[in-house]
């Protein structure tokens, strides 16, 4: 399992067969898509300004679109998630 925790209490959870997006610190499942519907992932980096940490904006295209903003400190987990999704192609 790969879990990527984002800003504002959102997270993505990949269990090998599905990718799910949760809100409210894991209390509300917003979407769940089977891995077979994966199309692409887009990652955009926004550098931090005035002492604030930068962030990554992620868009995952599956049977539905999932977007999440992540702090720079979540980059290793994001790289692991992207590698797992791309390996499924």
- Cα dihedral 47→24→14→71 (10° resolution): 10
d(CA 52, CA 20): 29
In this predicted model, what pLDDT tens digit does every residue of 33-53 receive, in sequence order?
999 999 999 999 999 888 888
31: domain CATH number is 2.30.29
- pLDDT above 90 as % of the chain: 87
CA distance readout (Å), 40 to 12, 28, 58: 15, 24, 11
CA distance readout (Å), 75 to 44, 57, 58, 63, 64: 12, 11, 11, 25, 23
Q: State the residue for tokens 């898509």.
A: 33
Greatest Cα-to-Cα distance within the chain, rounded to the nearest angstrom:
42
Range of the domain at 62: 2-87
- pLDDT above 70 as % of the chain: 100
Domain count, the chain: 1
């Amino acid at each position: 399992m790969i879990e990527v925790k984002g800003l504002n209490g959102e997270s993505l959870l990949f269990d090998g067969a599905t990718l799910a997006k949760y809100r409210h610190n894991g209390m509300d499942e917003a979407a769940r898509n089977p891995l077979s519907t994966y199309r692409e992932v887009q990652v955009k980096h926004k550098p931090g300004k005035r002492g604030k940490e930068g962030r990554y904006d992620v868009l995952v295209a599956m049977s539905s679109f999932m977007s999440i903003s992540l702090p720079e400190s979540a980059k290793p987990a994001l790289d692991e998630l992207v590698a797992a999704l791309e390996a499924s192609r």
